[in-house]
């Protein structure tokens, strides 16, 4: 196999970004089985609610992957960069789980994904430039927020949709680990006003992608 040039790498990253935002990552990359693979059929109404919630979660994973990619590019140390890349691998798995679940629910990914991807990527790059403790602190604060959000969505899903609930539970375990790892590596604990701004921005993403 020939060595990849910087242009090749750039094109591969662009291809991955387009596939991520449009819900076209190879489904077979994550062929895991779930305990609730054979759950009862959902009613039209239950499917509609599950689709809306899973679309929000898919967009959240698009943002997570974009953030980690941006943050890894501008990370100051190799240890921080490696942490970002390892976490981005987990987020890619989550992305495919949500993408596949949306297909099973006969629904679509959010039309706003490209906007949220670009915003998150640039935010990630800017955060990385502020130094490793701020960069890792951002991960810790974001993942803490994501865990709270996932708990809420696990509650909101229709009772009968056990598979979506199982998927969100598995994601939550990984997000909790990302949070802990970022703090262990020296992530700064963000003050409340900054966390409130982050909550407001994620609330905007949640509300728009629920419908679009």
**CA 92, CA 62: separation in Å to the nearest integer?**
8
Q: Spell out a b/e string for 98-137, using b for 16 or more CB atoms within 10 Å of the CB, else e.
A: bbbbbeebebebbebbeebbebbbebbbebbeebbeebbb
Choice from 91, 145, 161, 166 touching Fe ion (CB under 5 A): 91
CB 45 → Fe ion: shortest distance, Å?
A: 27
Q: Quick check: 178 binds Fe ion (CB under 5 A)?
A: yes
Residue number, 61 or 145, with CB nearest to Fe ion: 61
Choice from 55, 58, 81, 94 touching Fe ion (CB under 5 A): 94
CB 3 → Fe ion: shortest distance, Å?
A: 31
CB 73 → Fe ion: shortest distance, Å?
A: 18
- Give the x-and-dash track for 97-136 against Fe ion (CB under 5 A): ----------------------------------------
Q: Which stretch binds Fe ion (CB under 5 A): 16-24, 43-51, 102-110, 173-181?
A: 173-181
End-to-end CA distance of the chain: 42
**Among 160, 212, 150, 149, residue whose Cα is nearest residue 50:** 160
Q: Quick check: 145 binds Fe ion (CB under 5 A)?
A: no
In the block, tokens 């490696």 appear at: 82
Q: Is 76 exposed, middle or buried (0-12, 13-18, 19+ CB in 10 A)?
A: middle
Where on the chain is the footprint of Fe ion (CB under 5 A)? Answer: 61, 64, 91, 94, 175, 178
């Amino acid at each position: 196999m020939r060595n990849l040039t910087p242009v090749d790498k750039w094109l591969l990253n662009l291809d991955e970004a387009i596939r991520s935002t449009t819900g076209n990552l190879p489904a077979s990359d994550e062929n895991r089985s779930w305990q609730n693979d054979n759950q009862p059929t959902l009613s039209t109404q239950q499917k509609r609610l599950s689709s809306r919630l899973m679309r929000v979660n898919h967009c959240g994973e698009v943002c997570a992957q974009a953030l980690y990619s941006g943050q890894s590019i501008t990370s100051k140390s190799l240890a921080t960069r490696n942490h970002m890349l390892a976490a981005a691998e987990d987020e890619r798995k989550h992305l495919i789980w949500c993408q596949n679940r949306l297909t099973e629910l006969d629904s679509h990914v959010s039309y706003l994904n490209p906007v949220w991807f670009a915003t998150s990527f640039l935010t990630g790059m800017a955060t990385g430039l502020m130094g490793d403790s701020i960069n890792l602190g951002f991960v810790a604060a974001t993942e803490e927020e994501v865990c709270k959000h996932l708990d809420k969505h696990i509650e909101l899903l229709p009772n009968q949709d056990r598979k979506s609930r199982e998927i969100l539970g598995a994601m939550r375990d990984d997000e909790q680990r990302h949070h802990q790892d970022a703090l262990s590596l020296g992530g700064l604990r963000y003050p409340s006003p900054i966390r409130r701004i982050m909550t407001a921005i994620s609330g905007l993403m949640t509300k728009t992608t629920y419908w679009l």
